[in-house]
């Protein structure tokens, strides 16, 4: 992580696109990632906003608190970028915000709907209410409000990693939110953003499972992606240049230590420590490998 502020942006699809997301999840979510990055690139390369190559870490979420389908992407974006002269340039807003969110939402809407038109034209998806490329501004979906939300910037490497980890590791619902399971119903806690209050929701078991399975991504789909100066291809060179420009020390090397050795040095205890007695260490009894790692790729 760079010693700079990171901005947290959230790009959300209108609910009218939920049906297409259910029928064509891979195509729709790939388009969502692509449209978000194209939008960020356009603003980053525009001189009045930044005028530099930016980057982002993007995480796909498909759920809301009530487990209904709510596709959106969380983006963590550094507060600057790398110029063509290989110099670091900070955003022009002095850290107050990255780009104007209203303008971001309009560009995002344009790029996503252009992608929808292309997918429909190529016969990849079947939109019940197709777009007229020459008059797409008249389409009800285009006239719908598209939401881009900007949260307060995050500062400090430890805070950034902890903040990002909360979004990377999440699934549609965590165990601690499930309060009761009976023969027929499931009761769980949820936060109602309209009332800003926490509440309990009880659903029939079948409905709970229906909502849950909406968020199972296509096999092999990558839900965390890195772009620009933070991409796997560019970041080794780009981050070295940026740290030199900022007079920042590179991260300490682990010296070839194993992950559990680093954990022990960092936290002063073994990661294998029994969570019950907190004295003895757990030992590995057996390892179950994923089916795809087998020699034939399937069970025999």
pLDDT in the model for residue 167: 76
In a domain, 214, yes or no: yes
pLDDT in the model for residue 145: 84
Residue 225, strand partner residues: 58
In a domain, 238, yes or no: yes
For 206-257, write each residue's pLDDT tens digit.
Answer: 999 999 999 999 999 999 999 999 998 888 888 888 888 888 887 777 778 8
pLDDT in the model for residue 296: 43
pLDDT in the model for residue 136: 77
Low-confidence ranges of the chain (pLDDT < 50): 293-300
In a domain, 110, yes or no: yes
In a domain, 266, yes or no: no
Q: For residues 220 and 233, what is the distance between their CA atoms, to the nearest angstrom?
A: 20
User: What tokens appear for 28 in the block?
Assistant: 């729709």
In a domain, 233, yes or no: yes
pLDDT in the model for residue 291: 66
In a domain, 59, yes or no: yes
Residue 144: domain span: 6-173+205-245
- Domains: count for the chain: 1
In a domain, 211, yes or no: yes
pLDDT in the model for residue 297: 40
- What backbone torsions phi and psi does residue 297 show, to the nearest 5 degrees? 80, 0
Annotate 190-213 with b (16+ C-beta within 10 A) or e (fewer). Answer: eeeeeeeeeeebebeeeebeebbe
pLDDT in the model for residue 173: 92
Q: Which residues contact 117 (CB under 8 A, 6 or more apart)?
A: 130, 131, 133, 136
In a domain, 11, yes or no: yes
């Amino acid at each position: 992580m760079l010693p700079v502020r990171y901005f947290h942006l959230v790009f959300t699809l209108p609910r009218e696109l939920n049906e297409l997301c259910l029928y064509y999840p891979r195509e729709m979510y790939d388009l969502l990632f692509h449209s978000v990055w194209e939008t960020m690139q356009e603003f980053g390369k525009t001189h009045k906003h930044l005028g530099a190559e930016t980057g982002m870490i993007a995480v796909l979420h498909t759920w809301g608190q009530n487990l209904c389908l709510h596709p959106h992407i969380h983006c963590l974006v550094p507060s600057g970028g790398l110029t063509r002269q290989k110099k670091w340039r900070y955003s022009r807003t002095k850290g107050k915000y990255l780009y104007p969110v209203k303008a971001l939402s309009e560009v995002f809407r344009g790029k996503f709907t252009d992608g929808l038109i292309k997918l429909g034209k190529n016969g990849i998806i079947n939109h019940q209410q197709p777009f007229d490329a020459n008059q797409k501004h008249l389409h009800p979906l285009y006239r719908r409000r598209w939401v881009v939300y900007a949260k307060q910037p995050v500062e400090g490497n430890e805070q950034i990693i902890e903040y990002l980890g909360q979004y990377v590791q999440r699934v549609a619902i965590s165990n601690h939110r499930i309060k009761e399971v009976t023969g027929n119903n499931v009761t769980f806690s949820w936060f109602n953003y309209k009332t800003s209050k926490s509440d309990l929701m009880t659903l029939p078991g079948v409905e709970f499972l229906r909502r849950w399975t909406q968020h199972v991504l296509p096999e092999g789909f990558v839900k965390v992606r890195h772009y620009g100066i933070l991409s796997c291809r560019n970041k080794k060179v780009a981050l070295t240049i940026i740290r030199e420009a900022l007079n920042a020390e590179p991260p300490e090397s682990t010296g070839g230590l194993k992950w559990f050795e680093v954990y022990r040095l960092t936290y002063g205890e073994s990661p294998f420590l029994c969570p019950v007695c907190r004295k003895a260490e757990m030992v590995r009894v057996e390892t179950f490998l994923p089916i795809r790692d087998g020699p034939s790729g399937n069970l025999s």
